Structure 1
Amino acid sequence: MIHELEKLIQERKTEPKEGSYTSYLFDEGLDKIAKKFGEESFEVVIAALNDEDLVEETADLLYHLLVLLAAKGVSLHDVETLLAERHGTTTPAKPRRDVTEW
Structure 2
Amino acid sequence: MLRVFFIACLVVPNFAFALSPDQECQQIAEVAAAVMQQRQDGVPYSTQQRISQEFSSEETKEFYMDIVEDAYTEKQLNTDTAKEQATQAFGKSYYDRCMAPE
> Shorter-chain-normalised TM-score: which range?
0.3 to 0.5
Higher RCO (C-alpha under 8 Å, 6+ residues apart): 2
TM-score where L is the length of structure 2? 0.32
Structure possessing the higher radius of gyration over alpha carbons:
1
TM-score where L is the length of structure 1? 0.32
